[in-house]
Amino acid sequence: MTVTDTLSAAAMPVTTDALVRVEGLRKLFPLNGGFLRQPDSFIYAVDDLSFTIPRGESLALVGESGSGKTTTGKLLVRLLDPSAGHIHMNVDGDPMDVTTLQGSQTKRFRRQVQMIFQDPYESLNPRRTIFDTVAEPLAVQGIGNVLDRQERVAEMLALVGLTPPSSYLFRFPHELSGGQRQRIAIARALIIEPAFVVADEPTSMLDVSIRTGIMKLMQDLADRLGVTYLYITHDLAVARYMSQRIAVMYLGKIVEMGDTEEVLHNPQHPYTQALLSAVPIPDPRQRRDPIPLKGSVSKPVDPAPRCRFYDRCPLAAKVCEINDHPPLEGKGAGHKVACYVVRSPRETAQAV
């Protein structure tokens, strides 16, 4: 599938009500530390991210392997604690700081926020029936009695296309295909009707033939249940289908962000331009100039303060070498770019 494929871009209602607001978010993983031993270095997996996700405007997080997408997702659902920064979430009209949740706030947060993982084979407990798996968030939240839960689980299984639900309720994950398991994972995440779901490459391990079906399902459920996604993917066509806004990450930093259609049609950061130039386009008249990047993504271990993309950038100049990593600056209409130079894709290709 390509960016220009027939899948039309997502069309959910746009509001300005901020659901998630992230400020200066940072996650460092220590290296070579241990008992009574200070780490000698750190991986800057997520480094000073700030962004807002309005309610109803799903955000796609894209970038190559190791850019910090999963770490960002886990921070937002509090599977990881940040090293610095704040995450504010608007839960039922009550803004809460996710980084300092306590007591009943934690339970209310858990009701509104869920995560769907990449691997449907690892994310389901092999010893629990489908009913127990999907009903688990209801049980944790103390919602309904056993009969109510059976009814809700059956409804949810039907919604995710596992019909008749009665033939799935008491089966185990090993009896299902990868696509069916991911449908179960989606049912489990959405059964408590959360406001915000982090979906971490939920289709990347599935057979190509069933990926579109799962994406359509997630899009449909988002519309019906009012869910906003942080949708993690390295596939720009998937990002286009699943999101209203997109953030491109490189080595722990967001380097470009804006409306998905605007960023994909008018990429301004050389990294985004290079990613797009690698997407195959069937129509030769629309073909882009290739922007091959030198080297490969490294690990951001105690990175130099300069631009994270410097070593691979075709446009790298003195200004990039002597200054800190560029700030994410507005270029109009909510489009933000972190680059001192900024050239058109053609000019970037010519600089290679």
Give the residues lining the site for Mg ion (CB under 5 A). 69-70
The sign of the dihedral angle between the CA atoms of 79, 85, 89, 94 is positive
Per-residue H/E/C for 218-235: HHHHHHHHCCEEEEECCC
The token pair at 347 is 């000019």
Pairing mode, strands 94-97 and 113-116: unpaired
326: which strand partners?
A: none
Of 26, 108, 171, 234, the one binding ligand ATP by CB under 6 A? 234
Q: How far is the CB of 311 from ligand SF4 (least distance, A)?
A: 8
| Cβ(45)–Cβ(252) below 8 Å | yes
66 binds, among Mg ion, ligand ATP, ligand SF4, none (CB under 5 to 8 A by kind): ligand ATP
Of 58, 67, 114, 348, the one binding ligand ATP by CB under 6 A? 67
Binding residues for ligand SF4, rule: CB under 6 A, are 270, 307, 309-310, 313, 315-317, 320, 326, 339-341
Q: How far is the CB of 38 from ligand ATP (least distance, A)?
A: 16
307 binds, among ligand ATP, Mg ion, ligand SF4, none (CB under 5 to 8 A by kind): ligand SF4
Of 20, 28, 45, 313, the one binding ligand ATP by CB under 6 A? 45
Nearer to ligand SF4, 236 or 307 (CB): 307
112 belongs to the binding site for ligand ATP (CB under 6 A): no
Strands (E), the chain: 18-31, 41-54, 59-62, 84-91, 94-97, 113-116, 196-200, 228-232, 245-250, 253-259, 329-330, 336-337
As a whole number of Å, the end-to-end CA separation of the chain is 27
The stretch among 64-72, 156-164, 175-183, 285-293 that binds ligand ATP (CB under 6 A) is 64-72
Nearer to ligand ATP, 76 or 96 (CB): 76
299-328 positions binding ligand ATP, by CB under 6 A: 299
Closest CA to 214 of 238, 235, 246, 250: 238
Positions in the binding site for ligand ATP (CB under 6 A): 29, 43, 45, 63, 65-71, 234, 299
